Amino acid sequence: MLPEKTGICCTKATWKISTTSILGVTSAPARNPSGHRSIGIMKITLLQVGKTEESYLLEGIAIYETRLKKYVHFQTIQVPASKLSGSQKNTDVIKKKEGEEILSKVQPSDFFMLLDERGKKYSSREFAQFLQQENNKATKHIVFCIGGAYGFSPEVYQRANAMVSLSQFTFPHQLVRLIFAEQLYRVHTILKNEPYHHD
C-alpha cells in the first residue's frame, strides 16, 4: 500500500508549481502558504492612436500577437488620430481631442502605463520582472498606450500610473507598435525560461 500523502507535502508541491508560473490564464489563482496570491489572470491591452498602415508592420505585429496568445490575454485597441487642418492648427487641441478618446477606453481600475520618452527605462529582464510583480499584486488589467504624433495631453499624463521608455532613440509611432509587441513576447519567454532571449 502506498503511503498517504500528507497535507504538508501537498502544500509544498502546490507552492513549487505556483512559483514557476507566469502571467497567463489559469482557472483558479494559486496561493502560497501565507495566503498571498502567487499567480493570477492578467489582461494586457495596447491602446494606440491612429492606424498602422505599412503592410510589413501589420505582418510583424500579427506574428507576435499570435505568439502572445500562448501566454496572456492580449488585445490592441485603436483610437482615431486627429490631424491638423485649416480650422485646427493648434497641436494642443489635437492632443486634447486624442486624449479624450484615450481616456474613454481606460477604466478606473486599470493600471495605465504610457510609452513615453520620459518614462522609466528597463532592460528586457527588468521589464519581465515588472510585469511579474504587477501580476503578483493581483493587477487584473494593464493598459499600455502609444500616443499620437504630437504626444499626450496633460489629462492623459495625470491619469497615468507609470511611464516606460523603449529607447532614447525616436521611432515612428507605427514602428513602436511592432517593437512593443516583440518586447512583450520576449518578456513572457524570459518568465517561462524559454530559449528566445539571450543576454
CATH assignment of the domain containing 110: 3.40.1280.10
Higher pLDDT, residue 175 or 4 = 175
Number of structural domains (the chain) is 1
- What is the per-residue pLDDT across 167-183, written as a single tens digit (0 to 9) for each? 888 888 899 999 999 99
- Name the grid cell of 82: 486627429
Confirm whether 197 is domain-assigned: no
Domain of 180, in residue numbers:
39-82+92-191
* DSSP secondary structure letter of residue 138: T
Predicted TM-score (pTM) of this structure? 0.77
Q: Is the pLDDT of residue 57 over 50?
A: yes
> In this predicted structure, what is the pLDDT of residue 9?
38
Rounded to the nearest 5 degrees, what angle is found at the Cα of 97, between the Cα atoms of 91 and 60? 90
- Name the grid cell of 28: 483558479
Strands 111-121 and 73-79: unpaired
> In a 3-state reduction of DSSP, which class is residue 94?
helix
